[in-house]
Amino acid sequence: MSIDLAKNLYAKMPDVLAKARKKFGCGLTLSEKVLVSHADDFDTQVWERGKAMLALRPDRVAMQDATAQMAILQFMQANKKQAAVPSTIHCDHLIRAEMGSEKDLVRAMDENKEVYNFLASAAKKYGIGFWKPGAGIIHQVVLENYAFPGSLIIGTDSHTPNGGGLGGLAIGVGGADAGEVMAGLPWEVLHPKLIGIRLTGRLSGWTSAKDVILYLCGLLTVKGGTNKIVEYFGPGAETISATGKGTICNMGAELGATTSVFPFDQKMVAYLNITDRADLANLAIANKSLLVADPEVYQSPEKYYDQIVEVDLSTLEPHVVGPHTPDLARPISKMAAEAKEKGYPVELKAALIGSCTNSSYEDISRSAHIAQQGLKAGLKAKTSFLVSPGSERIYHTMKRDGFLDTFEKLGGTVLSNSCGPCIGQWKRADGVKGKADSIVSSFNRNFPGRNDGISETLSFLASPEIVTAYAISGDLTFDPVNQTLKGADGKEFKFEPPQGEELPSKGFAKADEGFVAPAANGEGLTVEVPPTSERLQLLQPFPRWDGKDFEKLPLLIKTKGKTTTDHISPAGPWLKFRGHLDKISDNMFLGANNAFFPEPGKGTDVLTGETGLTMAQIARRYKAKGIGSIVVGDENYGEGSSREHAAMSPRFLNVRVVITKSFARIHETNLKKQGVLALTFADPKDYEKIEQQDRISVTGLSSLAPGKPVQVTIHKTDGTALTIQANHSITDQQIAWFKAGSALNALN
């Protein structure tokens, strides 16, 4: 990576920081430093946390293959010659995990040929770096190559905040946002509030960086970070490795946070040095005061952060979260009692380590230490044990240092450097639909059905070293910190706490890392989209708003309880249609609980009374009749991923309005970008008033204005009607998107 980006940024920062201190009348937090120094126009920008929309100029764009397809298809609609900012594509999500790394990769190349050719040819033409299948998982590769202190990076994936481990703001966005930034426009985000997390003490024994974020998930919940940046500081922060910081920031996505960040320190220097960026490390050292908060902030944090949480690393216990949601947390010492009380199946069927969240050298060496102790006691993994390395570098280093061998001796299978089981690309041999059993992983998400497509599976999350101990015991009630296990000789033994190294003492082993640079001049090149493709479909602009109010729209679905993007647009087998809007739309709401139907994903055509149809079938019928529909949702609607298919499919199938109790940040923006009206109930209790046969009107749309509530009339079957109010967070610019039919239409 060229160091010029950082040089230019650091050169301009002192000026704008001085202006910001003057304007705000106080010292600056790290998050503010990064935000103000990336303002499109600092002077005209309104700064108000929780209220103002910020127009920012990101340093970089990163895209993973499952979301890059839509990002690129949308970018192509803007008719630009080149991406306006440095950008990369990473092929990591589409590789299935079934037979082990080599065979899985060969198959992926074959079955995803069209998509890879499309992405590679687009990358070459538009000046975008291309990381080939098998090169690694986007966030690990970005951390190793592109993230730097003080940077602002956007990525079409919700775990982009991983880059906060190197002291930058790295933020997950939908593909339309990425497309626009590549087309040269500024990027908009709601000015986030700030949560300050003060870390004291030092991690020791079994407790690892993962436990910090597992604990915080329990404390703050999956909504606790919405429209907020989580900024860490305090003496404890400096004791955590850069990759450990990456883990904490990565899984901050599970708090719904806009992003998470750590101040620049020596651990980051060490990581930059070992990843061949000593020049960058030195530059950052010379500019350190720009890359941490001002001293007065650390002296009186309560004056600068909207909320403060204190965590003492020395007393933090290892945690386990789940099932079904990452905020159901408890220390591992309480797991056995809770499993018994709640009747969780205690026999573990699979243990999975690695992924973008937890495959650092530190994670792997600590897990291997546990595996070695198991082997020494004559034991093997009782569960299926799968390892997903984060990148080529990690893989080759694990191999060189004997860790792969250790895992394989334990009975483990090493998968390709890709998302694999984390995103449902796992062929789980022993899984049975309809049967609940338990699995445990060191990943970051555990929504129902996510890993193995079986919604009954209870998926728990813990640190990789704890997961490895679970693999050996095969028992969810086992607590390796306090309990013993029987060795092959029948004697009880106790695991010693894991020991590992933060960074490889011999440096990272390297082979071909799988990077393809773009053409110097791509003008004459073409982007490969076979006209008969089942995987790719060029986009047609969505129709403009016809200027009329929405009158008496039928209710498509009222979702009940958690409605993540995995519920709205499941991944797994559907990943292959991520570049084909029409085909992927058949998955719409397949995982969602409908308040008016006993089975997820299905409901009733309220115009004909036919029931048991999928949501896509119903919506396609309405669309064929030229009728729009409305979706009603519960709390934190759209939580989880950045996939904009969860907004594009409803839009494509004529959903005009989504009214919820509340939204997750990325999904709310995605809906607005695609021209769907995203509203929230002014009184959340009104959610209860919506019934299956209601017809719903949303009126006064020609005078839609920022901050002005919208009237919603619910027409009942008995002829009565009631009017309720709905709020929204739509800005003037977003009103233009709505009127144009989508943000992209508004561009052209």
Active-site residue list: 92-93, 157, 445, 641, 643
Q: How far is the CB of 640 from ligand MIC (least distance, A)?
A: 6
Find residue 350's DSSP bridge partners: 384, 439
**The tokens of 149 are what?**
């202190």
Q: Which residues does residue 426 pair with via DSSP β-bridges, in sequence order? A: 97
CB 35 within 8 A of CB 301: no
> Which positions ≥6 away from 565 have C-beta within 8 Å?
638, 639, 640, 641, 642, 643, 646, 667
Of 217, 206, 266, the closest CA to residue 241 belongs to: 266
What does 195 bind: ligand MIC, ligand SF4, none (CB cut-off 5 to 8 Å by kind)? none
Q: In the window 112-171, what residues touch ligand SF4 (CB under 6 A)?
A: 137-138, 157, 159
Cis peptide before 161 (omega within 30 of 0): no
Segment near ligand MIC (CB under 6 A), from 153-161, 202-210, 305-313, 496-504? 153-161
> Which of ligand SF4, ligand MIC, none lies near 189, with the C-beta cut-off 5 to 8 A by kind?
none
Q: Is 247 in the site for ligand SF4 (CB under 6 A)?
A: no
Q: Is the dihedral of CA 632, 636, 640, 642 positive or negative?
A: positive
DSSP 385-416: EEEE-SBHHHHHHHHHTTHHHHHHHTTEEE--
Nearer to ligand SF4, 137 or 292 (CB): 137
Q: Residue 151 has what DSSP assignment?
A: -
CA distance 126 to 183: 10
CB of 695 closer than 8 Å to CB of 677: no
In the bound state with ligand SF4, the residue whose beta carbon lies nearer, of 137 and 171, is 137
Residues 90-109 that bind ligand MIC (CB under 6 A): 93
Q: Which stretch binds ligand SF4 (CB under 6 A): 99-107, 340-348, 416-424, 730-738?
A: 416-424
**Which one among 571, 677, 704, 710 touches ligand MIC, defined by CB under 6 A?**
571
* E strand or H helix that includes residue 699: strand 695-699
Count of residues of this chain found to bind ligand SF4 when the rule CB under 6 A is applied: 12
Return the structure tokens found at 300. Answer: 């009186």
Choose the contact partner of 642 out of ligand SF4, ligand MIC, none; CB within 5 to 8 A by kind: ligand MIC
Q: Which stretch binds ligand MIC (CB under 6 A): 473-481, 516-524, 641-649, 657-665?
A: 641-649
Residue located via tokens 């990163």: 62
Per CB under 6 A, contacts with ligand SF4 among 294-353 are none
Q: Which residue is nearest to ligand MIC (CB)?
A: 641
Angle, helices 266-274/242-251, rounded to nearest 10 degrees:
100
- Distances, alpha carbon 34 to alpha carbons 56, 339, 524, 666, in Å: 10, 44, 38, 20
- What's the chain's length in residues? 748
How many residues sit close enough to ligand MIC to count as binding (CB under 6 A)?
14
Stretch that binds ligand MIC, among 41-49, 318-326, 430-438, 639-647 (CB under 6 A): 639-647
Shortest separation between residue 500's beta carbon and ligand SF4, angstroms: 21
Give whole-number Cα distances, 479 to 219, 384, 468, in Å: 22, 19, 12
The stretch among 410-418, 509-517, 518-526, 638-646 that binds ligand MIC (CB under 6 A) is: 638-646
Smallest distance, Å, CB 397 to ligand MIC?
24
Of the residues 60, 125, 132, 159, which one makes contact with ligand MIC according to CB under 6 A: 159
Tell the smallest beta-carbon distance from residue 418 to ligand MIC (Å): 11
Query: Per CB under 6 A, which of residues 419..478 are in contact with ligand SF4?
Result: 419, 422-423, 443-444
Is the Cβ–Cβ distance between 426 and 452 less than 8 Å? yes
Q: What is the 3-state secondary structure (H, E, C) of 490-506?
A: CCEECCCCCCCCCCCCC
Distance CA 281, CA 302 (A): 31
- Give, as ranges, the residues between 406 and 435 that touch ligand MIC (CB under 6 A): 423
Smaller CB distance to ligand SF4: residue 39 or 356?
A: 356
Neighbours of 572 (CB within 10 A): 18
Question: Nearer to ligand SF4 by C-beta: 160 or 660?
Answer: 160
Instruction: From 208-216, 415-423, 427-435, 656-664, give the range in contact with ligand SF4 by CB under 6 A.
Output: 415-423
- What span, in angstroms and rounded, lies between the C-alpha atoms of 678 and 676? 6
Residue 419 or 613: the one with the smaller Cβ distance to ligand SF4 is: 419
Touching ligand MIC, residues 36-95 (CB under 6 A): 66-67, 93
If the CB atoms of residues 160 and 537 are measured against ligand SF4, the closer one turns out to be 160
Within 642-681, which residues bind ligand MIC (CB under 6 A)? 642-643
Instruction: Provide the mask over 229-268, with x wherever binding to ligand MIC is found by CB under 6 A and - wherever it is not.
Output: ----------------------------------------
* Closest by Cα among 439, 108, 115, 463 to 317: 463
Residues that bind ligand SF4 (CB under 6 A): 93, 137-138, 157, 159, 355-356, 419, 422-423, 443-444
Residues that bind ligand MIC (CB under 6 A): 66-67, 93, 157-159, 172, 423, 445, 571, 640-643
